[in-house]
Amino acid sequence: MRTRTQAAPSSTKLKRIALGVAACLAAPLILVSCGGGGGGSATAPNFNVAPLGTQSLSIAEVNDIVARAVQASISRGVQSTIAVTDRVGNVLAVYRMNNSSPNVTITSGLPGANGNGLDGFNPVPSELAAIAKAITGAYLSSTGNAFSTRTASQIVQEFFQPGETGQPSGPLYGVQFSQLPCSDLNVWLSQNATIGPKRSPLGLSADPGGFPIYQEGRVVGGIGVISSVNAGTNGIYGLDRDILTNETDLDEEIAFAALSNAFRAPEQIRANRITANAQTFQFSNTTPAVAGLADLVASGNFVAVAGYKSVANPIAGTAYGATQSGYVATTAPAFNGLNTFTLITDPANNTAVRFPPTAGTNLTQAEVQNILVEGMKTANRARAQIRVPLGSPAEVTVSVVDIDGDILGLIRSSDAPIFGTDVSVQKARSALTFSSNEALTDFTAIDAGAHAAFANAMNTFFQQQPAVLNGSAAFSARAIGNVHRPYFPDAEVGQAEGPLSSPIASWSPFNVGFQLNIVANKVLSTLGSPVRTVVGLNQFAPAASQTCVDDANIPAGRQSRFANGMQIFPGGFPIYKGNTLVGAVGVSGDGVDQDDMVGYLGVINGANAVGSAMRPFPASLRTADELSNSGEFLKYAQCPQTPFNDSNEQNVCPAP
């Protein structure tokens, strides 16, 4: 629930930072790396907290957080639905206050968007909206950054900053459609109980009212709140459309008041201490006092939620890094000394690796392994963007997929944000699919041809050039994003939209165009689904028909390309041997230019390590940066200018 106050712009909300590096100020970067993270502290903050510990939320602590959220709601005269998760997305509690609204309406507040995409969609159960907020707070955060759903609102809109007309789109534009409930990467309730990452009902949330929960500097979970005046008034699941105005948000106040000082994110790593494009992010518009404890028996009930929590009573969280969480330190000798984690399938066995380096159709096991190894070596040298203190190494997830979209390997830094696990695979599959011979055929087939107009517009967008969605041009995730913005070129107000975007007259973050449209039916149909069909005894392998698109008309050998949706911000590249497409790499973590560099150099250096012909671009076919519309060219790769902590090397990514 929102109460909006139009006030003068706040200098603490929108603070431009002088990086002190002229090249950074002049560079057309989205997430610049020259200055790394921002913000210091006169009180010698406790930086460099080791990401692993024994911290996790107990049942008593979950009850404490919920009781304070309920009291904060009572004192503000509203009823709320409250969700608490652990770091890997397990839902620990969902509490519904008496007379709270059972549903929310998804809305951006943009009248032209209402009724398009998910904008204006109603009803969505309040429990699912609260869970999405809580998961977002947990998934976007780490020991080096604390991001909230307000931060997410800031980085997914058509301008960065929102309200500053004519600026490039948000650096993570499109990330809201990750962690989808239909994703094959994310774990469903029917699978091993505590292993993550768990799916989110509505992807990542941009609606203020979701925060990470910390203990001793480490992320242990997230809280999400949806409030309403009464049961007859739907809650609002929206976002902050204008960063230049002060907005009082009751959901945000309640969620923040629910966290005692022991559970609040350390001030020195909150989003407002981290810079992007010479500006700080937002964390919260409010810092209310910690609420008292309400009587939970008298005020409402804990509830079970189909597909997300099988019992009503609160449960304890898992400690990130313990086998029960599904994320453990890598034991494979190839990754010794690289500070890497992997996913496992068995909470009792840390060697049951879910995605070990595996040979594909045209990639050897050694090639896959060395892409992952060299990617992590690059990340460990790189200066992180969205992490403090300044000079911290980038923490990322790196994934490699086969020509059919199957995951051949996945590795991650120990403290990489959880959201990047799913996003890295989305990026790889997107680059693969757009670069393939079958791109136009498959895009046209989804939903029985309902999206053919987008695909055909993409194929004819590049004037006086041959068709491109036929394998004749290589597309990176960055290049795909270039043509998926509501203005082309990005930020040039008054220009027509890119061929994959909704027109600006009906556009909103809930109606972006092709990325959402191809998955919307499956997202909505799986919101509350408690189970999914699995293959044989492998509970992590869904049936071929259970991807994030309606794939009835897509050959079985290519259905995995669409198994967790697509992504439209940088960090994904196709992999070629000569002019033959053999797979793709995806990276997600501490800055989009860093993501590009880690994936790009991971393939090149991985190839050099084993004498392979692999490259993140074809030998002689076109790459997307050779394609233009009215003289405006796409970008294929954009690596940071001086990216490494251990050298002054520049221009580290060779041109295709």
Q: What is the DSSP letter of 447?
A: G
CA dist., res. 243 & res. 8, Å (int): 11
CA nearest to 161, candidates 175, 177, 146, 150: 150
- pLDDT-flagged residues of the chain (< 50): 2-46
Q: Determine the pLDDT at residue 33.
A: 33
Q: CA dist 383 to 390, 421, 597, 598, Å?
A: 8, 20, 11, 11
CB atoms within 10 A of CB 643: 26
Token reading at 644: 């490494």
Q: Determine the pLDDT at residue 357.
A: 98
Contact 628, 640 (CB under 8 A): no
CA dist., res. 126 & res. 149, Å (int): 16
Q: Can you spell out the DSSP letters for 592-641?
A: HHHHHHHHHHHHHHHHHHHT--EESS-SSSEEGGG-EETTEEP-S----S
CB-based burial of residue 441 (10 Å sphere; 0-12 exposed, 13-18 middle, 19+ buried)? Answer: middle
Q: Can you spell out the DSSP letters for 72-140?
A: HHHHTT-EEEEEEEETT--EEEEEEETT--SEEEE--S-TTTTTSTTTT---EEHHHHHHHHHHHHHHT
Q: CA dist 4 to 156, 164, 166, 208, 250, Å?
A: 21, 18, 24, 12, 10
Q: Which amino acid is at 78?
A: V
Q: Determine the pLDDT at residue 12.
A: 29
Contact 166, 173 (CB under 8 A): no
Q: Which amino acid is at 504?
A: I
CA nearest to 519, candidates 447, 454, 412: 447
Q: What is the DSSP letter of 285?
A: S
Q: Determine the pLDDT at residue 552.
A: 87
Contact 513, 500 (CB under 8 A): yes
Q: Determine the pLDDT at residue 322.
A: 95
Q: Determine the pLDDT at residue 540.
A: 87
Burial 54-91 (b: 16+ CB within 10 A, else e): ebbbeeebbbbbbbbbbbbbbebebbbbbbbbbbbbbb
CA dist., res. 442 & res. 451, Å (int): 10
CB-based burial of residue 182 (10 Å sphere; 0-12 exposed, 13-18 middle, 19+ buried)? Answer: buried
CB proximity list for 620: less than 8 A, separation 6 or greater:
579
Token reading at 132: 């999405």
Q: Determine the pLDDT at residue 463.
A: 85
Q: Determine the pLDDT at residue 48.
A: 57
Strands of the sheet containing 79-86, edge to edge, are 210-215, 218-228, 79-86, 91-97, 300-302
pLDDT tens for 361-395 read 999 999 999 999 999 999 999 999 999 998 999 99
